[in-house]
Structure 1
Amino acid sequence: MKIDFDGKTVIVTGAAHGFGRTIAHGFASRGAAVHICDVNEAGLKETVAFCDAKAQAHLLDVGDRTAVQRTVAVIEANAGAIDILVNNAGGVRGQVGRPIEEISEMDWQTIFDVNLSGAFFMTQAVAPSMKRRKFGRIINISSGAGLGISLTGIQAYTSAKAGQIGLTRQLAHELGPWNITVNNVAPGFVRSNPSTERQWEAMGAEGQAKLLQNIALKRLGLPEDIAAMVMFFASDHAGWVSGQVISVDGGK
C-alpha cells in the first residue's frame, strides 16, 4: 500500500513534540505541505528541523477561537486550501491526579480548552473551505482514556477525550455529505513526551511490568505507530471510512 500526499496541504496541531512531531514528519516525508501549530515556540523550531525544513510553524493556542480563525485564514491565503487537519493538541497541562473536591474551575477548563474545544475550533475554521471543495480529511487524536479510564487519574482529561470521540462521530455525519471524513485515533500509553516520561517513572518497576502485562503484544508502542494510523485515515485508501475510532494500543 503506497501512501503519498503530493500536492496536499496539512495542518497538525500540538506538533512541538511527541505524536504531533512524528505525524508532521510523516506527512512531510510523503510530499505534503505541512503547517504545524503549538504554544511551544522552541519545540516548533525543533519539529521544523526534524522535518528537514519542510514544515511551516505557527504559534497558536488552539483553545483561543479568534487566534484559530486568524491562523487558519493565513494558511488558506498562502496555500489556497487545507486538505487534511490533524487535531493532535492535548495533554494534561502539567496537572496530576487529585481528588475531585480539590479540582478548581480553571483546572477543569484548561484541559477541556486544549483537548476538546481546540479540536472543535480548528475543525470549525477549516470546514467552510473543505465544503466548497467537497473534500477533506479530519483526524482527531484522543486516548484510550476516552474509551475507559485515564491512568493519570485526571477527571477532566478522560472526560475531554471521551467528548472528542463523541465530536468525531457527530461531525462525521454532519460533514459527510461534502466528502469530508472525520476519524479518531485512540493511542494507548506511549512514552512520547515529558509528561508520559514522568508518568512512566512514577509507575516504578512493578507498575511498569503490570502495564506491559496488560498489553497483548507485551511492549509499548512508538509515536510512529500512531502516525501510521493517521497516514491511513488521511489517505485515499480510507475514502469510505468515517466516524471511526481506532485504538492503537498493542491490544487490550
Structure 2
Amino acid sequence: MNIDFERKTVIVTGAAHGFGRAIAQAFAARGAAVHICDVNEQGLAETVSLCGEKVHSHVLDVGNRSAVQLTVAAIATSCGSIDVLVNNAGGVRGQVGRPIEEISEEDWQTIFDVNLSGAFFMAQAVAPVMKKQKSGRIINISSGAGLGISLTGIQAYASAKAGQIGLTRQLAHELGAWNITVNNVAPGFVRSNPTTERQWDAMGADGQAKLLQTIALKRLGVPDDIAAMVMFFASDFAGWISGQVISVDGGK
C-alpha cells in the first residue's frame, strides 16, 4: 500500500509531542505540507526540527474559538487548501483521578475545552474550506476511555472523549455530501508523553503486568501505531469510510 500526500496541506493539533509529533512526522515523510499547532512552543520547535522544512508551527489553544478561526484562515490563505485535519490535541491537563464531589467546574471545563470543544472549533473552521474544494479528511483522536472507562479515573476525560466520538459520527453525516470524511482513532494505552509515563510508573510492576495481560498482543503500542491508522484514514484508500471509530489498542 503506497500512501503519499504530495501537494496536500495537513493540520495536526497537539503536535508538540507524542501522537501529534508522530503523526506530523508521518505526513511530512510522505510529502505533505504540515501545519502543527499546540500551546507548547518549545515542543513545537522540537517537532519542526524532527520533521524538516515542510512543517510550519502555530502556537494555538484549540479551546479558543477566535484564535482557531484566525489560525485556520491564515493557513488556508497561504496554502490555498486544507486537505486533512487531525484533531489530536487533548489530555488531562495535569489532573488525576479524584472522587466526583471534589471536581470543580473549572476542572471539568478545562478538559472539555481541549478534548471536545477544540475538536469542534477546528472542524468548524476548516469545514468551509473543505466544502469549497469538495473534499477533505477530518480525523479525531479520541481514546479507549471514550468507548469504555478511563484508566485515569478522570470523569471529564472519559466524557469528553465519548463526546468526541459522537461528534465524529454527527459530522460524518453533515459533511459527507461535500466528499468530506470524518473518522476517529481510539488509541489504547501508549507511553507517549510525560502524563502517560507517570501513569505507567504509578501502576508498579504488578499493575503493568496486569495491563499487558488484558491486551491480545501482550505488549504496548507506540505512537507510530496511531500515526499509521491516521495515514490510512487520510488516504485515498479510505475514500468510502466515514463516521467510523477504530480502536488501535493491540486487541481487547
Q: If the TM-score is normalised by the length of the shorter chain, which range does it land in? A: over 0.9
Which range moved further: 44-53 or 32-41? Answer: 44-53
Q: Structure 2: how far apart are the matches of 1:213 and 1:227?
A: 24
Match of 1:153 in 2: 153
Structure 2 segments unaligned to the other structure (5+ residues): none
Q: Structure 2: how far apart are the matches of 1:53 and 1:247?
A: 32
Percent same amino acid at aligned positions? 83
The C-alpha deviation readout for 1:216-236, integer Å capped at 9, x for no partner, is 000000000000000000000
SS of aligned partner of 2:113 = helix
Deviation of the 1:53 alpha carbon:
3.1
Q: Structure 1: how far apart are the matches of 2:9 and 2:52?
A: 17
The C-alpha deviation readout for 1:112-163, integer Å capped at 9, x for no partner, is 0000000000000000010011000000000000000000000000000000
Q: Structure 1: how far apart are the matches of 2:74 and 2:134?
A: 21
Deviation of the 1:207 alpha carbon:
0.3
Structure 1 segments unaligned to the other structure (5+ residues): none
Q: Structure 2: how far apart are the matches of 1:20 and 1:129?
A: 22
Report how many residues are paired: 252
Q: Which amino acid aligns with 1:200?
A: W
Match of 2:227 in 1: 227
Deviation of the 1:203 alpha carbon:
0.2
The C-alpha deviation readout for 1:146-190, integer Å capped at 9, x for no partner, is 000000000000000000000000000000000000000000000
Deviation of the 1:250 alpha carbon:
0.1
Q: Which amino acid aligns with 1:127?
A: A
Match of 1:249 in 2: 249
SS of aligned partner of 1:56 = strand
Match of 2:62 in 1: 62
Alignment of 1:133-152 (within 5 A): 133-152=133-152
Q: Which amino acid aligns with 1:232?
A: F
Q: Which amino acid aligns with 1:69?
A: Q
Alignment of 1:87-106 (within 5 A): 87-106=87-106
Match of 2:9 in 1: 9
Match of 2:30 in 1: 30
Deviation of the 1:52 alpha carbon:
2.1
Match of 1:116 in 2: 116
Q: CA RMSD in A?
A: 0.4
The C-alpha deviation readout for 1:44-68, integer Å capped at 9, x for no partner, is 0000011023200000000000000
Q: Which amino acid aligns with 2:170?
A: Q
Q: Structure 1: how far apart are the matches of 2:34 and 2:237?
A: 20
Q: Structure 2: how far apart are the matches of 1:58 and 1:80?
A: 17
Q: Structure 1: how far apart are the matches of 2:42 and 2:251?
A: 35
SS of aligned partner of 1:7 = coil
User: Is 1:167 paired with 2:167?
Assistant: yes
SS of aligned partner of 2:138 = strand
Q: Which amino acid aligns with 1:218?
A: K
Which stretches of structure 1, 4 residues or more, deviate above 4 A after TM superposition? none
Q: Which amino acid aligns with 1:225?
A: D
Q: Structure 2: how far apart are the matches of 1:152 and 1:57?
A: 30
Q: Structure 2: how far apart are the matches of 1:198 and 1:54?
A: 33
